[in-house]
Each structure stands twice: as structure tokens, then as C-alpha cells.
Amino acid sequence: MTVTTHTPLRPKEMAAMATARATIADNSLSVHQLRTGQESEVLAFLAERPLHTVVMAGHIRDNGLESPLNRGSFHACRDREGRLAGVALMGHATLVETRSEAALAACARFAQTCPVAHMIMGEQEKIDRFWRYYAKVGQLPRRVRRALMLEQRRPAEPHEPVRDLCLATLDDLDQVMLVQGRMAFAESGINPLEVDAAGFRMRCTRRIEQERVWVWMKDGRLIFKADIISETPQAIYLEGIYVNEQERNRGYGARCMSQLGRTLLSRVGSLCLLVSDENRKAQLFFERIGFKLDSYYDTIFPEQADTEAINSQASKREVLVLDRPMPK
């Protein structure tokens, strides 16, 4: 779905944006890159809204503030007293957490100086406003995907156990990559197996080695898959949830997710994932196993100015992907 218009601004929103621009103009806020050693301050800031910052916090816990594995750089927005007003990851995926409209505007303006992002993702209203500050006059997204953020805090009722549901090994890598590549293409319109096969293989390998890919293999075939993209003490963010097309409507997905949910909720307070707003079947599935609507999210895919250069740069990095495939 390509969106060519935005919801008209309400008077209060227009006033807030005007105030934000004035705040930036008088240099009340500054944006700068975060450095190693500032992790505790940033994680405390992000922990105030753990569900919506789980990806950024998970990257920092896994890789630190400065690492090519983050596939971008972390930046802080500070007021005149040096207090944090916002944190943003700017790169392949641009994510932002702010406490004021002025901080959101400042991060968006700073992001304009960075290489074009593959995607900009966050809560729907916030990302809509971010785009208004970020986009050049007349610039439109290449694609916008709307989704529901669902959360589960209590395990679902037990289903028949799946004895072979387990963490993936490198023996499963080829099948995991094939499925993940198809799901990424359905979501973004770009197949990582075609544009960055070596980097994509490296990312999938690393996730398996981190023990974050759960699979059910039956007679050498991948029946079910789910990826832990990010984990903090408060939450786990899941994506890439897949049931083999030839094995659907047999209750396998509910059995696997029920079992996986009980396992993961024994160590964190909540699970969260994104489901396309167009995929009503998937929404109903997750509702049946205990997930509830928390909020609405947008993922904006900007036009890429120089695809060849971007692909070349990406292939040289050891990176952790942040694709958000449409759950099946």
C-alpha cells in the first residue's frame, strides 16, 4: 500500500509543530551521537516506556551504543541543561523515542542529514508527525505499512504440546533464510536474498547463534518459525512468525505459540509483535491465543536515492536485521 496523503492536521497539532520549530530555532535543544559509556543513562530513559522501546533497548543490550551490528547510530536529543529529551536510532531502521514535540522535530531534522533510511517505524501518530518534519517538500513515501501492536502478558490456555519445538541450529539455516526472505519481501517489497545475500545470511546465522530462532521441523521440513528480535528484562519483541502453507488450519500455529508464550513469559513481563492492519485472519489468530491490542504503528519506506550504493554499503557490514515481516 502506497500512501500519497496525510491526515490533515488539527489546530492543536499545527500549534504544537509551530512551537517545536521555534524551540529548535532558539537552540534550546541539541542532537548528538551517543558514545560507549552512556548506556545506563539511555537504557533508563528507554525503560520508562519498555514496550515501545524494546527494539532500541535490545540493540543496546546486545551490541552497545556503538556497533555496526546496530545498522545505524544512536543519537541523543538534550535540552540546555543536558537532560535527555529523546533517543533515536538512525540508519537502516530509524526509530525514535521522545518526550516532547520539539525533541521529535529536532530528531527528524537531524535525520535528514543521515543516509536515507530503509524504513522509519513507530507509533502511528508520532511517525506521521516525524515524517512531516523529515520529508522534503513534495516528498512521498515509497510505501507505508500500517500495523497493530499486540501484547501478551499472560500465557494462553495450554494446547497439545509440540515436543519437537526447539531453538534452531545452523542445520536449519537455509530453510529459515528462505522463509524469512519471502516474508521480508512481502512486507517491504525488497528481497534481502537478492540485494544482500551475504549480509542476510550473516544476520540469520547470528540470530540462530544467539538462540533467538524457534522452529518446529518435521521430516526435514520447516513447519513453524518465530524469531526473537529483541529482549529486555521487561519485554520480548517477536516477528517472522510462520506456519508452513501446506500445514495451515491444523492448529499447529496455536499449539506452537501457546507453548512458546509460556516459555518466554516465564522470564519477561510481556510479549509484543506487529500484525498488518489488512491481515484480519492473523489478528484473530493472535487474539485467540491471548494477545491484546496496545497501539497502532506505521512503517514508512522512503524512496532510496541510490540503491546500488546502499546495497554496497550494507553488504560490507555485520548487521542485525530489523525486518518486520507480515505474520502468517
The answer to whether residues 98 and 228 belong to one domain is no
pLDDT category at 189 given cuts 50, 70, 90 is confident
Q: Which residue has the higher pLDDT, 280 or 139?
A: 280
C-alpha cell at 288: 485467540
What is the pTM assigned to this prediction? 0.83
Residues 123 and 211 in one domain: no
325 found inside a domain:
no
Residue 50: strand, helix, or coil = coil
Which of helix, strand or coil describes residue 210? Answer: coil
Structural domain includes residue 1? no
Q: Which 8-state DSSP code applies to residue 204?
A: H
Same domain, residue pair 18 and 89: yes
pLDDT category, 68, cuts 50, 70, 90?
A: very high
Over residues 21-41, the mean pLDDT reads 83
pLDDT band of 11, cuts 50, 70, 90: low
- The answer to whether residue 47 is domain-embedded is yes
- State the angle between helix axes of 124-134 and 101-111 in degrees (0 to 180), rounded to the nearest 10: 50
Is the four-CA dihedral 280, 151, 273, 148 of positive or negative sign?
positive
3-state secondary structure 96-113: EEECCHHHHHHHHHHHCC
Residue that is last in its domain, among 116, 140, 164 = 140
pLDDT score recorded for residue 117: 83
Domain stops at, among 110, 140, 170:
140
- Note down the domain range covering 188: 152-315
**Cα–Cα distance, 67 to 59 (Å, whole number):** 9
**Distances from the Cα of 105 to the Cαs of 53, 83, 231, 275, in angstroms?**
18, 17, 28, 28
Residue 21 lies in a domain: yes
Residue 169 lies in a domain: yes
In this structure, the number of other CB atoms found within 10 A of the CB of residue 154 comes to 11
The pLDDT of residue 317 is above 60: no
Q: Are residues 119 and 184 in the same domain?
A: no
Residue 204 and residue 164 share a domain: yes
166 - beta bridge partners? Answer: 215
Place of cell 514496550: 51
Q: Are 176 and 299 members of one domain? A: yes
Q: What is the mean pLDDT of the chain?
A: 87
> pLDDT at residue 40 above 50?
yes
Give how many domains the chain has, as a whole number: 2
- Specify whether 171 is located in the same domain as 277: yes
Q: How far apart are alpha carbons 237 and 235 in whole angstroms?
A: 7
Tell whether the model's pLDDT for residue 111 goes beyond 80.
Answer: yes
C-alpha 109: how far from its chain's center? 21
Confidence of residue 304 (pLDDT cuts 50, 70, 90): low
Are both 297 and 163 inside the same structural domain? yes
What CATH number does the domain containing 240 carry? 3.40.630.30
- Whether residues 35 and 181 share a domain: the answer is no
How much is the pLDDT for 114? 86
Beta strands in the chain (DSSP E): 30-33, 72-78, 84-91, 93-98, 119-123, 143-152, 165-167, 213-218, 221-231, 235-243, 270-276, 292-301
List the one residue out of 6, 328, 287 whose CA is nearest residue 141: 6
Residue tagged 508527525 (cell numbers): 129
8 or 210: which leads in pLDDT: 210
Please, are residues 77 and 85 in contact by the beta-carbon 8 Å criterion? yes
In this structure, what DSSP letter does residue 233 have?
A: S
Distance, CA of 25 to CA of 22 (rounded, Å):
5
Indicate if the pLDDT at residue 230 is higher than 50.
Answer: yes
Q: Residue 27 pLDDT more than 90?
A: no
Quick one: 113 and 240 in the same domain? no
Residues ≥6 apart with Cβ < 8 Å to 13: 129
Domain C-terminal end among 83, 108, 140: 140
Residue 3 belongs to some domain of the structure? no
pLDDT, residue 17, reads 58
Residues 40, 181 share a domain: no
Distance CA(326)–CA(328), nearest Å, equals: 6
**231-267 as b/e: b if 16+ CB within 10 A:** bbebbbbbbbbbbbeebeeeebbbbbbbbbbeebbee
Find the CATH number of the domain harbouring 67: 3.40.630
Which whole number is the average pLDDT over 103-114?
Answer: 94
